[in-house]
Amino acid sequence: MPIIVDEVVISVEVGNREAGGDAGAPPPAGQEKQALVEECVARVLEILRDREEP
């Protein structure tokens, strides 16, 4: 029985100091942060689509 995923939820933490992120950079402003998240989601979805192609 095939499994169909209708929705993928991805969360991203930007500037994680514990994981070696850039500790000196200030957090992005609201619109900049939203644009960064949208770009990350777009790239992840593109990678997933590439994996599905034969």
Helix (H) or strand (E) holding 2: none
- Check: CB of residue 40 under 8 Å from CB of residue 47: no
Higher pLDDT, 13 or 7: 7
Q: What is the pTM of this model?
A: 0.45
Q: Average pLDDT over the chain, rounded to whole?
A: 76
Q: Summarize pLDDT for 20-34 with one digit per residue, the tens.
A: 555 556 666 778 888
The CA–CA distances, whole Å, from 22 to 13, 27, 35, 42, 47 equal 12, 10, 18, 22, 25
Placement of tokens 């619109």 in the chain:
31
